[in-house]
Structures are given as structure tokens and as C-alpha cells.
């Protein structure tokens, strides 16, 4: 769509024509009588009559230059199609446990039994897809904590690197405190942008490794305004084969430290969730979506490209052409007058 930023500038279009009309009225009064002292003056009049047509096209050329100049002053612009403005409401870090216990197959996905990490990948990937506009980072932790993806708007990259993670990548033990500390460090680097800071931490055990205690790390998170949602994952009952024959029920989540996870969430203003199956895990991530909603864009954005320089360049080009023609004409008249003077 084409538009003019300052359309009122077009009111200047008739100014030179009004000035020409007023000057013509004044010139007609002065030209009522003509006194010619010598015949040489008629040579100049004859030359003017021969160049009358030149003056005519010069007039129209000047008129076009003026129109282009006024059009440039009105600032023509091209308005593009409306684009959605991504709204970034928060910096969102995901911390996923890759310790050996995540290999426990007590979840179901598509009518088949899968390990905890596989179920987490499927549910967390859908969660990441819904976080349009948020900067998302990924931390993988086991015995050590690693920043797999720094905060980014590229959700596809976060999903791909999450899906490529495997159990034991970061060691067999669980360093919950180190994972929180790493998130605090990365969030602190982004503190100046004023966005809300959120960490969603998923684990199936207790802190058994690392240099920082989980509650101490939670205190650091509280100081930088990092809100932590903790998710304890794992079924409460699982039927397994007995060594003496038959089957028996066990609690595969006996090592889950719910007290510490609850303390971390409460200390930082978040919440603790318990995921006992795939459906429960999906509900938890949907609830996190409700607690930390993605901001809706307030209005679309139309890119505007200014085009004033095209008519302005055209006006300058025509003005330069007129100046060159006028200069050449004056030189021709002077040369002709000198030739006539030499001949006389």
C-alpha cells in the first residue's frame, strides 16, 4: 500500500503558478510602451522568437521538477503487509534430569511402556512449541550440570537438542543444586532486560552430587528474582518380577526428595508438581502455561519504507538539466552578440 506521510505538503503545488500569474500581470503593465533606440535590439528579439519553443519545454520541465520536489516533501512511503510482533514475556529455562534413574520404564506413551526421559521429551517438546515469544534455554544435568542451549527465541533448536539428549550424558548421579546455580548464572546475565525469569526443573530423585546444596541454590535464585517450578517425576507403583517367582509391586520413586523440591519452589515463589504418569505430566506443563501465560501481541506491525529520495533525485536531475541548458544558451547568445559586433 502506498501512502504520503505529510499529504498537507501538496498544498504548495500551485505556488509557482500563482507567482507566475502575478508576475505576468506586472510585466504586461511595464511592456505597454516599447522604445527602441537602435536597430541592433531587434536582433535580440528575433533570437527570442526563435527560442520561444525552447522556453516552452523548459517551462514544463521546471513544472515537473517542482511537482517532484513537492511530492518528495510529502514523504511518499510504501506500507508493507501486517506482521505479528513477537512478544517476549519472560526468560524461561528448562532443566532436565539425565541421571541413571530416568531409565526407569514406568510411563506409557502411545500404548507402550517407555522410560521417564522419553516421556519427558515428548511432553516438554509440546510445551516448548507453545512458548512463542519467550526466550528459552535448556540445562541438562546428572552428576554435573551443562548449559545445552543458551536463552534463545529459536524454539526448534531447543527441541532438537532436547530430543538428542540421552540418559547418562551428564553422569549417573543427580546434581539439582548445580543445575539451579547454572540457571541463576545464565538468568543473571539477562537481568538487565527486565523480563520475568522462570526455571522449570524436572527430576526423579534427590540431590546426590554437585557442589551446591539445592536450598542454598534456591536462595541465590530468590535473590535474582528467578521463579522455580519443580516437577517430581515417577510412578508410585510398578509391578515387577520377583526373584522367587511371581510378581510384586514396588515404589520406583522411593528416592524422590519431594520435601526439598517443595522447599525450592516455595522459596522462589513457584510451585511443586508431582507427575506420576504421562497424562499427569502433560497436565502439569499445561498448568505452567496458565501460571506463566504467553503474552498476546497487542497489535500488528506494518513495515514502512520511505521513498522520498526517488522524486527528490528526479527534481534535482531536472533542475541540473535546466541549469546546463540555460548556461549553454547564455553562452550562445554572448557568442552571437560578439560575432555581430565584430561584423559591424
CB neighbours of 231 closer than 8 A, spacing ≥ 6?
200, 201, 202, 203, 272, 273, 274, 275, 281, 284
Mean pLDDT per 10-residue section of the chain, whose length is 344 residues: 86 83 63 51 48 63 88 88 62 93 88 91 93 90 93 93 91 93 85 76 92 94 93 80 63 86 95 92 92 68 82 90 85 81 72
Report DSSP state, residue 83. Answer: B
pLDDT value at position 61?
A: 84
Helix or strand run (H / E) with residue 79:
strand 76-79
pLDDT value at position 213?
A: 95
Length of the chain counted residue by residue = 344
Q: Considering the entire predicted model, what is its pTM?
A: 0.62
Q: Is 55 within 8 Å of 160 (Cβ atoms)? A: no
Angle at 27 between CA 22 and CA 28, to 5 degrees: 100
User: Domains, the chain, ranges and CATH?
Assistant: 2-31+38-80+303-343 (no CATH), 90-291 (3.40.50.410)
Report DSSP state, residue 215. Answer: H
Q: What is the C-alpha to C-alpha distance for residues 178 and 165, in angstroms, rounded to an integer?
A: 18
pLDDT value at position 1?
A: 77
Closest by CA position to 197, among listed 121, 270, 297, 285: 270
Q: Is 162 within 8 Å of 126 (Cβ atoms)? A: no
Amino acid at each position: 500500500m502506498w501512502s504520503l506521510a505529510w499529504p498537507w505538503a501538496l498544498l504548495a503545488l500551485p505556488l509557482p503558478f500563482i507567482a507566475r500569474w502575478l508576475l505576468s500581470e506586472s510585466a504586461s503593465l511595464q511592456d505597454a510602451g516599447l522604445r527602441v533606440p537602435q536597430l541592433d535590439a531587434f536582433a535580440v528579439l528575433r533570437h527570442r522568437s526563435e527560442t520561444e519553443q525552447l522556453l516552452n519545454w523548459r517551462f514544463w520541465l521546471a513544472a515537473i521538477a517542482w511537482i517532484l520536489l513537492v511530492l518528495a516533501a510529502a514523504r511518499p512511503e510504501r506500507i508493507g503487509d501486517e506482521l505479528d510482533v513477537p512478544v517476549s514475556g519472560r526468560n524461561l529455562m528448562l532443566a532436565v534430569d539425565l541421571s541413571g534413574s530416568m531409565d526407569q520404564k514406568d510411563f506409557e506413551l502411545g500404548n507402550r511402556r517407555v522410560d521417564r526421559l522419553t516421556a519427558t521429551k515428548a511432553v516438554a517438546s509440546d510445551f516448548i512449541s507453545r512458548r512463542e515469544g519467550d526466550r528459552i534455554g535448556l540445562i541438562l544435568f546428572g552428576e554435573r550440570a551443562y548449559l545445552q542451549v543458551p536463552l534463545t527465541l529459536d524454539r526448534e533448536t531447543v527441541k532438537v537438542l532436547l530430543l538428542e539428549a540421552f540418559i547418562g550424558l551428564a553422569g549417573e548421579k543427580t546434581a539439582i543444586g548445580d543445575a539451579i546455580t547454572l540457571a541463576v548464572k545464565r538468568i543473571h546475565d539477562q537481568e538487565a532486560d527486565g523480563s520475568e525469569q522462570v526455571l522449570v526443573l524436572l527430576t526423579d530423585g534427590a540431590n546426590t552430587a554437585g557442589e551446591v546444596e539445592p536450598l542454598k541454590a534456591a536462595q541465590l535464585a530468590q535473590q535474582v528474582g528467578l521463579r522455580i517450578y519443580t516437577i517430581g517425576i515417577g510412578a508410585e507403583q510398578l509391578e515387577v518380577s520377583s526373584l522367587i517367582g511371581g510378581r510384586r509391586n514396588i515404589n520406583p520413586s522411593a528416592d524422590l526428595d519431594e520435601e526439598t523440591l517443595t522447599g525450592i519452589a516455595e522459596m522462589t515463589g513457584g510451585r511443586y508438581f508431582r507427575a506420576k504418569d504421562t497424562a499427569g505430566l502433560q497436565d502439569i506443563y499445561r498448568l505452567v502455561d496458565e501460571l506463566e501465560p504467553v503474552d498476546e501481541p497487542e497489535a500488528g506491525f506494518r513495515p514502512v519504507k520511505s521513498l522520498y529520495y526517488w522524486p527528490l533525485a528526479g527534481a534535482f536531475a531536472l533542475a541540473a538539466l535546466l541549469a546546463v541548458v540555460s548556461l549553454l544558451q547564455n553562452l550562445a547568445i554572448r557568442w552571437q552578440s560578439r560575432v555581430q559586433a565584430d561584423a559591424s
